[in-house]
Amino acid sequence: MVQAVLLPAVGAPLELVDIALPEPGPGQVRVKLAAAGVCHSDLSLANGVLRAAAPVVLGHEGAGTVVAVGEGVESVRPGDAVLLNWAPSCGGCHLCELGEPWLCEHAFDGAAAPYATLADGTPVYPGLGTGAFAEETVVTERAVLPLPPGVPLTAAALLGCAVLTGYGAVHNAARVRAGESVVVFGLGGVGLSVLQSARIAGADPIIAVDVTPEKEELALRHGASAFVPADDGTAKAVRKLTGGYGADHAIECVGRADVIRTAWSATRRGGHTTVVGVGGKDDKLTLSAMEIFHFARTLSGCVYGNSDPARDVPVLADLVHAGRLDLDALVTDRIGLDGVPEAFDRMSAGKGGRSLVVF
């Protein structure tokens, strides 16, 4: 039996339970988790913003060691250190063939079928196809990436979502260039990763925005040159810090229409607003036809950092080796599986950076 954090139904309290995992079938891999990050997408699954079959084991940002493989698996073998990929691309659908694997039509197929059972035989689904809030998980071979050597296995879990998303938002989606100004809205694990990535890109200034004033020190430590509290004067404050024009790039990591609207207003004419946060389908954003024409800004979504993990993870590993990307600094709380509910509470209250489940 394997201990796991179970969401019995959307909106229900999380439970720490034993689940029974099958041996890996053809094309599957069984992974013993070393660590799993607590991501806002897990909270969105728990509260119904993102849809999921239930009961479900949450968690999708993880790293661990392969303990068994099924027939036909060739890319990894028992003993290999791997990173979980919660949105594995198929390589053959229309969007993959267009070179956009982050939008793969089959990325979430793994979440649609049960992968384990409770003691009474009830089928259990894997959150975002991975079920990383568990001592072990079974996933398709496409959902694991061999971890480049030299990256600590525990810290490596953050590469699977927060860092890959934040890095990709800056380098793949917004394509920030040296000397351009960047304002980052929301300083959770993804937002802090965006700050580090903007610093790596050579952005200047880098402005951090959050509702929690206590995050100013955290923001400065991760590369921000200024901190602005989130209030009615945020856009005006950003313009003041950018010569009166507004930022070249705004990157929104909250997923709320009012924050997206502020991010849009904080960018210069011709600037670029990139939305990384996952919002609710009923949270409507309003822009006038005149301002779209007049400001000539670009507003775009960003899924999983518009990343190809097989291409980008080795780049991130090199940045870690070079000391330019600090994974440990992103973690503000190290917890056990039983600490996940409290991590959700901290996240809802806007406290801290990334909570990391360490097994």
Ordered structural domains, the chain, with CATH: 2-160+326-358 (3.90.180.10), 163-303 (3.40.50.720)
Q: How many residues does the chain have?
A: 359
pLDDT digits (tens, 9 = 90+) for 207-248: 999 999 999 999 999 999 999 999 999 999 999 999 999 999
pLDDT band at 178 (very low <50, low <70, confident <90, very high): very high
- Alpha-carbon gap, residue 76 to 180, rounded angstroms: 41
Contacts 24+ apart (CB under 8 A), 116-119: 116/2, 116/4, 116/19, 116/20, 116/21, 116/22, 116/57, 117/19, 117/20, 118/6, 118/17, 118/18, 118/19, 118/20, 118/55, 119/1, 119/17, 119/18, 119/20
Taking only the tens place, the pLDDT of each residue in 300-338 is: 999 999 999 999 999 999 999 999 999 999 999 999 999
Distance CA 324, CA 280 (A): 34
Under the banding of pLDDT at 50, 70 and 90, the label for residue 203 is very high
How far is Cα 215 from Cα 60, in angstroms, rounded to an integer? 25
Give residue for tokens 């300083």. Answer: 187
List pLDDT tens digits, range 61-112: 999 999 999 999 999 999 999 999 999 999 999 999 999 999 999 999 999 9
Q: How many Å separate Cα 73 from the centre of its chain? A: 27
Sheet-wide strand order for 182-185: 226-229, 206-210, 182-185, 247-252, 267-275, 298-301
